[in-house]
Amino acid sequence: GPPPAPFREAPPMLFIRLLVLIPLSGAGCYWLTLYVTAPIIRLSHAVRQFAAGDHSIRVGSELAARKDEISQLASDFDFMASRIESLISSQRNLLRDISHELRSPLARLRVALELCRQKGEAESKKYLNRIERESERLNQLIGETLTLNRYDSGVPLPVESLIDLERLIREIVEDADFEAQGFNRGVKLVSCDNCTVKGSEESLRRAVENVVRNAVRYTSEGSVVEVSLRQSGEGKECHALVTVRDHGPGAPEDTLSMLFKPFYRVDKDRDRLTGGAGLGLAITEAAVRLHRGGVSASNAPGGGLLVEITLPLS
Whether the CB-CB separation of 303 and 247 falls below 8 Å is answered with yes
134 phi/psi in degrees, rounded to 5: -70, -35
Active site residue 100: yes
* Size of the chain in residues: 314
Distances (CA, A) of 201 to 19, 168, 195, 309: 78, 8, 13, 15
Whether the CB-CB separation of 259 and 210 falls below 8 Å is answered with no
Relative orientation angle of helices 121-152 and 69-118, to the nearest 10 degrees? 170
List the catalytic residue out of 45, 55, 100, 291.
100
Which of the residues are catalytic?
Answer: 100
